[in-house]
A and B are shown apart, each in its own frame.
Chain A
C-alpha cells in the first residue's frame, strides 16, 4: 500500500468537523468575552480544540507507525509545514512593516517634516523622537492627554541580550538533538532536547520578568502610545510563538522519553517542531535588532 505506484487516501474522519466546532467556539467565545460576555465559551472551545488536536496528531502518528504513510505523503507533510512557517513569517512581516512605516513616515510627518508635515498643526509642539516618550497627545495637551508615552524603555544590553544568547543557544542545542537522533543515540537526543526545552522556558521566564519590569517601573505598557504598542505587539506575538514552540518540543521530548517514538530515518514530527523553533529564533534576531537595539 505504501508505495509510489498506488495511492493512499485516508478513510472518512470525524476530526475535521470537531476541529471546526472547536475553532468556532474559540473564535466566537473570544469575541463574546472581549465584548463583555462570559469567558466560558472561549475556554470550552479552547479545550475542544486541544482535545481534537490531541486525537488528530495521535491518529497521524499511529498511521505512520502502521506504515500507511508513503514517501509521497511524508513529502506533503514537509511542504505543508514549510509553507505554514512562511505564512507565519508574513504575519510578523505585517507588524515589522507597521513599525517601519511608523518610524520612517508617520512620526516624521507628525513632527512637521516634509511635504506632509502640515499635520503638525494638529499636534503643536510635537517632536519626532524614538523612543517616543512624548506622544502627540501629550505634546499638544499636556496633563490633559489621554495617551502618554513611557517613562523609560527596556535596555537592550541586559535582559534582551541575555535572552538573545539563550534563544540562539537553544537553536544550537536543538540542532545537536537532531544530529544525535539521526545517529540513533536516543539518550543524547533526549538530553539535548530537554536542554532546548529548558532554555525555551528560561527565555519565557526572563521575558515575563521584562514585562513585569516594564509595567511596574517603566510606565511602558500597551497603552503608552505607539512605542508601547509596537514593542508589546511584536515581542508579545513572538513570546506566544516561543510558548507554542516550547510546548511542541516538550511534546516531542515526552514522545521520545515515554513512548520511544522517532527513528533515525523517520522523525518528521520532531523535525517540524525544530524548524518552527529555528523560525522563532530568527524572528527574535529581527526583534533584537529592530525593536530593542535600533529602538533604544
Chain B
C-alpha cells in the first residue's frame, strides 16, 4: 500500500492520490486561465480603439462567451478543487480523499469537457456566442448549431462537480482525525464544506436549465417560448437560481484561504473564528434567495424587486463581519509582507471595493441605470480577479513550499504581485467610469467619448496578462529546485499541514495524527 508513484504518464492517468489529482487540477486550471486570458486579450485588443479593427462582431461575441465560461468553469472552480484536494486531507489529518477513484474520475472529465467546449470554435456557425449566461431565446432559437455540444459539455462538467463535491463532503464529515471536531477545522475546510453543499444544490439546477434548452431547441418543447405558453424569463430565473450560488462557490473557498494566510503573517490567531463560520453559512443561505437581483430590469412585480433588493443587501452583513475579522486579525499584529500576504491583503481591500459596487447594483432603482453596462463588468471582475484569482495565487505561494519542498523566489513573487495588482486596477477601475457613463457590455464597438478609458483598460489587461507569465516561470523554477523549505515553512503557522515534512510525503498520514 505505501509505495510511491509509478513512473511515467500512467501515474497521472491511473492515480488515486489526492496530491497528484490536486496538482493536475491546478495545472489544468492554469492552462484554462491562460486560454481564457488570451480570449480576454482579444476582447481588450479589439476595444483598444472605437470601430472594428481586429475581429468581426460574431467572433467578438464568441470570445466574450468563451472567456466567461472558461474562466468560471475551467479556471476558478478547478483551481479551488485542486487546492481542496491538496490541502483538505492534510488539514484534517486524513490519508487521502474519501473516494479516491471517483476523485480521479472527477478530474479527468474536465479536460475532455473543455476539449469539447473549445472544439465548438472550429464548428460550422462558430462557438457559442450568447454570453456566458446563455439567455434564451438567444441561446435557443437564435443559437449556432454548436450549442448542442455546449449543452453536453456543461452536463459532464456538472457531473464532475457533483462527484467532486460529494467526495469533499464525505472526506470532511467522515475522515477527520480523532479530536478534529468541526469547530477545530481550519476555515479553508469549513468554507469548502459549505461550498460543496452549494455545488450539490445548484449544479443539478444548471443541468436542468440546459436540458430545457436542449428540449426547446431540438424536441419542440415550449419552456422558453411564449407562443406555447412558456416564458423566456423562466430561463433567467432557473439560470440565476444556479448562477447566484455559483458566484459564492467561486468566493467562499477564497475566504478560507485568506483566513489561513492573514493570521500567519500577522502572527496572531484569526479574530472571530466562530463568527467566520457562521458568516460563511449565512452567506451560503442568503445566496439562495437573492438570484433575481440579476434580473431587476426584466420586468418583475414590485414586490419581487423589493424582496430581492433587501435580501441582497443583507449579504453585506456577514461579508462585513468577515472583512472586519480580517482587519482585526491584522490590527497590532507584527506583520510581514511576503508574497502570499501581499495577495491576501490586496484581496481584502479590492474584494471590498467589489463588494461595495455590488451594494450599488443591489439597489433596484439604481440598477436600471447600471444594468448591462461596464459598471457590472467592473463589479464582478473586482470580486473575481482580486477575489478568486488573487486568493488562489496567494494559496499557491503559501503552500507551494509545502508541496515542492522548495522556497519560491520571493523577489519574483513580489514582482508578480505588483504587476498583477497594478495591471488589474488599471484594467478594471476605468470600467466603473465608462459603465456609469453608459457604455454597454458585450459590444465590440463604442462611442468616441469612451476611447480614453478603454485604451487605459486595454494596456492594463496586457500588463496583467504578462504578470501571469512571471507567476508561471516562478512556479516552474520552484518545482525544479531552489532553497529548501523547512517543515514549518513560515513562522509558527497554524495547522496540521505544517507538522509534516516539506515536501509532504506521497501518503501524508498512514495513521491518524494527534490533534491538540
Contacts and interface: CB of A to CB of B under 8 A. Distances in A.
A114 B15 contact: no
Contacts of A122: 226
B238 A97 contact: yes
Interface string B505-516: 001011110000
Interface string B190-212: 00000000001111110111011
B397 to A, nearest CB: 29
B511 A5 contact: yes
Interface in A1-48: 1, 5-17, 19-21, 23-24, 27-28, 30-31, 34-35
Given A76-B170, A147-B225, A222 B16 contact: no
Contacts of B301: 114-116
Contact of A233 (B215, B233, B510): B215
A226 B99 contact: no
B53 interface: no
Interface string B153-175: 10110010010011101110111
A101 B200 CA distance: 23
A132 B301 CA distance: 23
A223 B234 contact: no
B126 to A, nearest CB: 14
Interface string A73-116: 10111011001101110110111011001100111011000111
Contacts of A24: 109, 112-113, 116, 156
A170 interface: no
Contacts of A51: none
A140 to B, nearest CB: 8
Given A9-B1, A91-B207, A116-B301, A84 B15 contact: no
A17 B98 CA distance: 19
B299 A116 contact: yes
Interface string B110-144: 00110010000000000000000000000000000
A96 B105 CA distance: 31
A97 B202 CA distance: 13
A133 to B, nearest CB: 10
A9 B116 contact: no
Contacts of B237: 97, 101
B152 A28 contact: yes
A90 B204 contact: yes
B273 interface: no
A183 interface: no
B116 A27 contact: yes
A8 B105 CA distance: 19
B409 interface: no
Interface centre among A8, A11, A79, A136 (most CB of B within 10 A): A79
Contacts of A30: 152
A176 interface: no
B149 interface: yes
B112 A87 contact: no
Given A84-B166, A87-B204, A229 B98 contact: no
Interface centre among A16, A72, A145 (most CB of B within 10 A): A16
Interface size class of A (residues with CB under 8 A): 35 or more
Interface in B340-371: none
Contacts of B16: 9-13
A135 interface: yes
A255 interface: no
A94 B113 CA distance: 23
A268 interface: no
Contacts of B230: 102, 106, 226, 229
Nearest to B219: A222
B174 A226 contact: no
Contacts of B105: 15-16, 19-20
Nearest to B301: A115
Contacts of B332: none
Given A15-B101, A90-B201, A106-B234, A7 B228 contact: no
A105 B153 CA distance: 31
Contacts, number: 229
A92 to B, nearest CB: 8
Contact of B109 (A11, A23, A233): A23
A200 interface: no
Contacts of B319: none
B227 interface: yes
A95 B215 CA distance: 13
A122 B223 CA distance: 18
Given A106-B229, A123-B226, A136-B228, A16 B221 contact: no
B501 interface: no
A146 B229 CA distance: 12
Contact of B222 (A80, A83, A114, A226): A226
Contacts of A16: 14, 101-102, 104-105, 108
Contact of B510 (A7, A34, A97, A98): A7
Contacts of B226: 106, 110, 119, 122-123, 136
B148 interface: yes
B100 interface: yes
Nearest to A79: B170
A227 interface: yes
Nearest to A103: B229
A28 B116 contact: yes
Nearest to A5: B511
A232 to B, nearest CB: 8
B174 A79 contact: yes
Nearest to A19: B105
Nearest to B10: A12
B241 interface: yes
Contacts of A102: 229-231, 234
Contacts of B99: 76-77, 80
A225 interface: yes
Contact of A226 (B145, B165, B228): B228
Contact of B112 (A14, A20, A97, A106): A20
A75 B173 CA distance: 10
Nearest to B145: A35
A63 B500 CA distance: 30
A281 interface: no
Given A35-B148, A94-B209, A9 B228 contact: no
A118 B450 CA distance: 36
B15 A88 contact: no
Given A9-B100, A35-B145, A83-B170, 6 more contacts: A7-B94, A9-B96, A14-B13, A16-B108, A136-B226, A228-B222
30 contacts: A5-B512, A6-B511, A10-B16, A16-B104, A28-B149, A30-B152, A31-B116, A72-B175, A73-B98, A77-B99, A79-B169, A79-B170, A83-B170, A84-B166, A86-B201, A87-B201, A87-B203, A90-B205, A94-B241, A97-B241, A102-B230, A105-B231, A110-B231, A137-B228, A147-B222, A223-B219, A226-B223, A226-B229, A228-B221, A228-B222
The 4 closest A-B pairs by CB, nearest first: A94-B208, A226-B229, A7-B95, A106-B231
